[in-house]
Chains A and B, each alone.
Chain A
Amino acid sequence: MKPLVVKNLKKSYGKFEAVKGINFEIGNNEIFALIGPNGAGKSTTLKTIATLLTPSDGQILVYGEDISEKQEKAREFISYLPEEAGAYKRLSGKEYLKLLASLYSDDDRKIKEFYDRGVAIANLGLKINDKIATYSKGMTRKILLARALMVMPKLAILDEPTSGLDVTNAIYIRNIIKEYAKKGMAVLLSSHNMLEIEYLSDRVAIIDKGTIYETGTAKELKLKHKADNLEEVFIKVASK
């Protein structure tokens, strides 16, 4: 059973069609990236798959569960990291991880397992005991990523995971994503950073104006469009 199957997904806000019927699938252990400009429909697609928005039409299956009919069941498989995510600033890093771990399981052992994994992923040392309000942007993003991955979701949905981070933190986060994908997690991510996408993803979909124009590995797309990098691929695809 595939972690994610998206069939003819459409999403409208009133008269505006943000997503116009897209199709793609993600396999086990696969890192799949959506790339496109601002307003292309990436975040809308990710939010819809994360069950925050309701599809206007089409079907989304997460491990065979139709999210329109079984939202809560689907959420058990999913962990979502929004682009502009925040954490509860009055909690310390460890309190935050414990709280979110408790929302994913009622079993104390499982909660501890999630928490320990989260602390390891965050890699904040003693700062994990401090209030999140004292964290830098990089530290906050690390704790948020830790929250997203600590529960070992079957499908991790990461919207611009390294957005606004310095090189060191960005590299750290990319490596964590790659490491956890190897552990059995499927990852759906979006990014503007083409280099990051090339490094991280197994397959890529180019999306613009709510439509997916191309899908394939970075290598395939570069060959097809005779481009040196994904940026060139995108420019050539978008100009058509």
Chain B
Amino acid sequence: MDSSPKKRTLSRKSSRSGEHSGDLQSGDTGLFLNSVLENIPDMIFVKDARHLRFVRFNKAGEELLGIPATEMIGKNDYDFFPKQEADFFTRKDRAVLKDGRMVDIPEEPIHTKHKGVRYLHTKKIPILDERGNPQFLLGISEDITEKKKAAETLRKSHEELESRVEQRTGELQHINQALRDSEERYRTVLAALMEGVVLINAKGRILAANPSAERILGLSKDQIMSRSYKDPLWGTVHEDGSTSVEEFFTARSLRTGESYVNAVTGLRRSDGRLIWLMGNTQPLFRPNEAAPYAVVASFFDITDRKEMEAQIQKLNAELEQKVQHRTAELIAANKELESFSYSVSHDLRAPLRAIEGFAGILMEDHFKKLDEEGRRLLSVIRQNARHMSQLIDDLLNFARIGRQNLTRQTIDVLELVHSVIEELSHYDSQEKPEIVIQSALPAAPGDTVLLRQVFLNLLSNAFKFTRHQEKPRIEIGFQKQGPETVYYIRDNGVGFDMQYADKLFGVFQRLHSVKEFEGTGVGLAIVQRIIHRHGGRIWAESKLDGGASFYFTLPPTANV
């Protein structure tokens, strides 16, 4: 389009010739052209071909350069512009004029008076005379500074955008990779977990389930994920027997936004088996939202434990029942025993009293009618009746000690021993034995009444069996054996043969004849029973005619 019109000329003469004037009159043409020239927004200038001095300069040029046309006319580029710029303009001008063809300079800088450096898009056109010699140079310059700036800004912002996009893309790729890595890690962890883990959204849809969840629930991942958490197929059962699915811990957590720990719920598996889960929930929240958007539930199968608990409970209940049954039996037996001993004490004694009493009356009223032998026989009857009465008393006493409750307190053994000895001294008319009491006798835990009975029986035995000694001696003391305190009562009486030691504590067991030493053989049985009821032990050591020693312990914590 810029192919140079070689034959074009610009002269007043030719322009006035009206060759291209069209409708315009030749006189008007100059005026018209001038008007165009002055009002066109581009800078237009004309230089003479020989000296390249401005011959014409339009208004737009004046405005751009900030120099009036009157100043420009007759001067050249070196008068206004830096040498480098002027050289460039001149070189282009010469080239145009030399070649006789238009040159398009897309961009050239120019120093202006007020606007600084501006950029121009300039076309330079040679104007030739009739002979084809260059006469003028026509320049048309468009100020492209703003356009250039806009383009530059556009380019810059484009570049910036491009680089930001690139950077963002990089970041996203990085994040994506990190997410993928982290997801992979969690997936691995989830897959390895023994606990079942499911993710449930706010609508109750199950979004994810790990392999353990599949195993525990007995369902494939797809089956799990096809069910809502409210699906009746779960067959939810709570420990109290209720079946509300709304109370399932996942449902509860979604509803309340709270997390739960160790919640227990039963589920009916599709194979019909009831399994028990213990689970935790963690609701998930988005920032600034009050309701959770999802909940993570983890759980494990505690069915075995539940079943064991139930088994234990059942066994306990059975045991309890057995104990109750046995207790009832024992109570009944005890009652029976009590009424038995009540009967014994009343009904057996009445006939004895009659035998003894009427034998007594016979002796009293008919004394003179009886000979010596008759009286002896009567007295044997009376003696035996009395002895049997004593046996009944002792037996009942023995039975009572087995039933009686223990009232445990700390007992001052030393004081107890002194008081028992004093009591015995009142009754016994024998030669007073020498009594040695270890003064540091430690206190013992026990029932006062019963322990008094122990010392009474043991000491009265000691009195009894030393009766025939020349210098009777009784010693009461204790020994420390490890953590235990062993009390002992030692005498220098007749003693007994150790081969019968096991019979010593039996009921009605006697190692001496009644003739030798009176008694029913219940005293030591009672002593043993009391010591055993206190959780202690009792044993004896002796030699025939070498005295006897009785030892017993009273543990601080005894099972009664």
Are both chains from one complex? no
